[in-house]
Structure 1
Amino acid sequence: MTHDTRIDAAAPQRAGARAWGALAVLMLPVLLVSIDITALNFALPEIARSLQPTASQQLWIVDAYSLVLATLLVAMGNLGDRVGRRRLLLIGATGFAAASALAAFAPTAELLIAARAAIGLFGATLMPATLALLRTIFLDRRQRRLAVAIWATAFSVGSAAGPIVGGVLLAHFHWGSIFLIAVPVLVPLLVLGPLLVDESRDPAPGPIDPVGILLSMLALGGLAAGVKELASHGLDPLGVALVAVAAVAGWLFVRRMRRVAAPMLDVGLFRVPQFGGALLVNLLSVIALTGFLFFVTQHLQLVEGMEVLDAALVLVPGVLVMIASGLLVVRVVRRVDPGIAVVVGLGASLAAYGMLAALGEDVSVAGIATAFALLGLGIGAAEAISNDLVLTAVPPAKAGAASALSETAYEFGAVLGTTLLGGMLTAVYRATLVVPAGTDAAMADAARETLGGAVAVGEGAGAAGERLVEAARTAFDHGVIATSIAGALLMLLAMVTAWRTLRGTGD
């Protein structure tokens, strides 16, 4: 029996209108941070034309935010437990808005990457605080499950809606507008947060552990950066070294957490199947979601030739399905075992990737919309249940650290979705691209970098340009097929994990 179950059973307290108002306020940073992860997907072609990044820089523009955020989440979650979760949330919101404004007007790819990293720094203060505050606001198990489901749905929907928001903005404004939306979204949080959200912290946090914080940052940051390096450049010395540093730092961190009197993270929680299994399901689900969005948004624009707004609208049905799935699963698990509900939902996500792999180059716009709806059905349910199970596996005082781990899994999923699946797509694209004979050398080099580069140099270049663009689109679709097979295998692994670890975790 989990800690919170005993507390709720002894003294259940049902939340009132103020608590639900606090939830509405706390959803603002959730939506913003998750939108920020994927809103760039539709903007990448325009950013490529404006700033002319290399293929590596393009991946860094996407990943710098998530890399920094993932590196700092555990440290910031622990800091929030100590200094106050609401205080850290408000500080982070202010910094997030300021860094977003800098990104909106970045004149070079390098400065945009730096601004994205700064956004990640402040984003790391937001997410653990919001989920941890829900743990202290909603003490009744059923109310909390609904609140966490709404929170998780907002997170998943924000990621899925990011390209839609980006598409709408890009249809009317400069690409920098996708960052400026942070300012009006966060102002209500800064105004209403102190009024509706009570401060909370760990009542007995123990001394600050700078060594543990540093080791956690080295482990998480080294792993994220190492995986990205290996995905981009193969087995190069830098990538191997980064992963090795991460492994050593992780081992030292676990060893230290087992020995100190007041650990910042109770590593014994990973021996609880519910906790570890929910984290893994969370991670795999987000990899599948962000990887799907990474290549589908490019396919709609650069292969199908759709305008950015029209391409964004293709994803709307899937977003609606994801919202419905995340909320309805709360009712379903009152009668159905949570683990079984997650397995069934992820089966739909497996079918989505299988559908793309089977159709290959023949996939239609309607087929993409259908596949995304199936994906959203499973991801919505999996995220809602897995976040609730992570949170209920720990005592309330450690909610910040547990929330940070849940968000770490999410952000690593975002990084791995673009890094692993995106890197696989790029590798297959380059390996299968057949540059037509007689193509100008400069055009050929641009085409070998990215599909966006091929379209940019091929448009208006006559018959030779058309042949190059067609060859690049064919190679890209080959990459989509390979990536879809990988996505299907990830969903299968998530289903097996849920079946083995999450059954029997209901009320």
Structure 2
Amino acid sequence: MHEKIAGESAPLAGRREWIGLCVLSIACLIYSMDLSVLFLAMPAIVADLDPSASELLWINDIYGFMVAGFLVTMGTLGDRIGRRRVLLIGAFAFGVASALAAFSSTAQQLIISRALLGIAGATIAPSTLSLVVNLFQNEAERNRAIGIWGTAFALGGLVGPLIGGALLQYFHWGSVFLINIPVMVALLIAAPFLLPEYRSNEGGKLDLLSVLLSLGTVLPVIYGFKHMAAYGFEPGQLLPILAGVLVGVLFIRRQSSLAHPLIDLRLFRIPAFTASLLVNLAGVFFVFGVFLFQNLFLQLVLGLSPLEAALWSIPSALVFTVMSFQAYRFTNRFGAVRTVLIGLVVNAVGTAAMAAAAYGESLVGVLGASMIIGVGFVPVILTTTGLIVGTAPPERAGSASAISETSAEFGGALGIALLGSLGTVVYRMRMDGIDLSSLNETQASAVSATLAGAVEIAKALGGTTPVWLDTARTGFALGFAVCCVVASVTLLILAAVARKVYQSAHIDERSAAAH
């Protein structure tokens, strides 16, 4: 049986729908930007609030934790009570939490504010995507609209450091949060006039136990992988992951027994939905991991300032932008399946080029490789996102959007954790046997653990650049290169596997091409 997505001959959208899309995209950009904008502000926050090491970790991570934990709940809640209503509630809460974060006077206040931001942010991504699906009934226009939405999502992560660096050059660190407020105010004013309301009439009440079980599934798993990335692999870090998996089993059992589940497991019986979800997750896995290394490489190995690194990343951002707007042309010409498979192969070529550039410590090579990755990655993600949402029943679009976003969060967390851990292992092996006798035990431990620690110790010591710092930078570059080789090989294998999975899904290429 062919999977066919309705709406090929539906009426075209008007000016109201396109303006509504712009409003939704800007809101999504802000949500995405908040995942990365804080990195540059951390030195100023440390100087102002003096957080402990544990508090510093929570300031960084709590936003992503809360977003991942509440995505499914908020996406399903939008299906039940109205997606526009949930979006407006979330936008108001996001603005309030942004103000609280900007004016935090203690590390604890900032952590709580970031947690509230994450919960509010979890309403924005699934609501905006599902509303895009409702706004555009024509499949060709819908695919283009999802491309614009995807551009905003991708650009948020890319321009976050750039905007943050510019603001921090002249203003207090709280300014990186205050920029959220006017956008949320504009959304609150415009949304009632531009966006339709949509809800399922068969949703039933929200099952609170399912909400708790979903949180108990997502949060421990992401916590375990994040700590694995931060501190390297230790057996004890598997405990929260195992606990999350066990709670996940209980969650799935409960969903199977409910008349109105939080996640409709029937979605996973749709072959195109499941195949697209897995490819989407894997694509995000490698891109997040590789780009994390790239940002650190530019600053720690090549010695660029955060703002300089952000400026050098503008060409990559432009490639992501252009490809997001033009990805539908690839889908229309080659069909959804071929677009995904070709994109995976291009991604593999890009990561192979990144491996060579990282090993050679080449700025131009790394930036060129990141642009190749963008050419392959964007069509894959947008095409699979369109299939994930488009193959779900309309009344479950919010839930499908939330599942897509949650898989992306998991993919990103897994990519950063596992590739980060692999890079750390290579780095530490490279540093074994290096003479650090001139350092005390604490300093030597920091230098051996991470390149960031080595750079900080070298700065603190002053004077000429120590020999071990060059070795540390070479070790990090080698770890980066190894991770990129693993990514390239795995992406080629994934392309071969995905081809077979999509063949078994029997996707109607004529229907998919109309996307």
Residue 325 (structure 1) aligned to one of 312, 323, 326? 323
Question: How far 1:150 sits from its partner (Å)?
Answer: 1.3
Question: How far 1:59 sits from its partner (Å)?
Answer: 5.3
Seen in structure 2, the aligned counterparts of structure 1 residues 221 and 307 have a Cα distance that, compared at 3 Å, is closer
What are structure 2's unaligned runs of at least 5 residues?
Answer: none
Please say which of residues 78-87 and 478-487 is displaced more in the overlay: 478-487
Q: Distance in 1 between matches of 2:169 and 2:284?
A: 27
Question: How far 1:494 sits from its partner (Å)?
Answer: 4.2
Determine the structure 2 residue equivalent to 1:436: 436
Asked if 1:347 is matched to 2:345, the reply is yes
Report the TM-score when normalising by structure 2: 0.89
Report the TM-score when normalising by structure 1: 0.90
Asked if 1:284 is matched to 2:282, the reply is yes
Q: How does 1:173-184 map to 2 (within 5 A)?
A: 173-184=171-182
Contact 2:218 2:244 in 1 (8 A): yes
Seen in structure 2, the aligned counterparts of structure 1 residues 60 and 477 have a Cα distance that, compared at 3 Å, is farther
Please say which of residues 497-506 and 53-62 is displaced more in the overlay: 53-62
Contact 1:171 1:309 in 2 (8 A): no
Determine the structure 1 residue equivalent to 2:233: 234
Q: Distance in 1 between matches of 2:456 and 2:45?
A: 12
Question: How far 1:215 sits from its partner (Å)?
Answer: 1.9
What are structure 1's unaligned runs of at least 5 residues?
Answer: none
Determine the structure 2 residue equivalent to 1:246: 244
Determine the structure 1 residue equivalent to 2:456: 456
Seen in structure 2, the aligned counterparts of structure 1 residues 184 and 423 have a Cα distance that, compared at 3 Å, is farther
Letter in 1 for 2:158: A
Count, aligned residues: 504
Contact 2:232 2:421 in 1 (8 A): no
Seen in structure 2, the aligned counterparts of structure 1 residues 409 and 192 have a Cα distance that, compared at 3 Å, is same
Seen in structure 2, the aligned counterparts of structure 1 residues 338 and 13 have a Cα distance that, compared at 3 Å, is same
Q: Distance in 2 between matches of 1:121 and 1:67?
A: 9
Asked if 1:67 is matched to 2:51, the reply is no
Q: How does 1:217-232 map to 2 (within 5 A)?
A: 217-231=215-229, 232=231
Letter in 2 for 1:469: L
Residues 316-356 of structure 1 show CA distances to partners (whole Å, capped at 9, x for unaligned) of 11111112222222122222121111221222222222123
Residues 270-292 of structure 1 show CA distances to partners (whole Å, capped at 9, x for unaligned) of 23221112112222222222222
Contact 2:161 2:306 in 1 (8 A): no
Q: How does 1:348-387 map to 2 (within 5 A)?
A: 348-387=346-385
Q: Distance in 2 between matches of 1:85 and 1:275?
A: 21
Question: How far 1:178 sits from its partner (Å)?
Answer: 2.7
Determine the structure 2 residue equivalent to 1:477: 477
Residues 431-482 of structure 1 show CA distances to partners (whole Å, capped at 9, x for unaligned) of 4333533124443344345433332332262457633433432332232123
Q: How does 1:389-468 map to 2 (within 5 A)?
A: 389-433=387-431, 434=434, 436-448=436-448, 450-459=450-459, 461-463=461-463, 466-468=466-468
Seen in structure 2, the aligned counterparts of structure 1 residues 457 and 372 have a Cα distance that, compared at 3 Å, is same
Determine the structure 2 residue equivalent to 1:76: 74
Contact 2:358 2:366 in 1 (8 A): no
Contact 2:3 2:272 in 1 (8 A): no
Seen in structure 2, the aligned counterparts of structure 1 residues 262 and 442 have a Cα distance that, compared at 3 Å, is closer
Q: Distance in 2 between matches of 1:431 and 1:57?
A: 30
Residues 195-226 of structure 1 show CA distances to partners (whole Å, capped at 9, x for unaligned) of 21122111221232222222222222232223
Contact 2:354 2:370 in 1 (8 A): no
Q: Distance in 2 between matches of 1:264 and 1:3?
A: 24
Please say which of residues 287-296 and 492-501 is displaced more in the overlay: 492-501
Question: Residue 333 of structure 1: SS of its match in structure 2?
Answer: helix
Letter in 1 for 2:152: A
Please say which of residues 58-67 and 120-129 is displaced more in the overlay: 58-67
Determine the structure 1 residue equivalent to 2:87: 89
Measured on the aligned residues, the alpha-carbon RMSD in Å equals 2.7
Determine the structure 2 residue equivalent to 1:5: 5
Question: Residue 160 of structure 1: SS of its match in structure 2?
Answer: helix
Letter in 1 for 2:308: D
Letter in 2 for 1:75: T
Determine the structure 2 residue equivalent to 1:149: 147
Letter in 2 for 1:244: L
Contact 2:32 2:156 in 1 (8 A): yes
Question: How far 1:397 sits from its partner (Å)?
Answer: 0.8
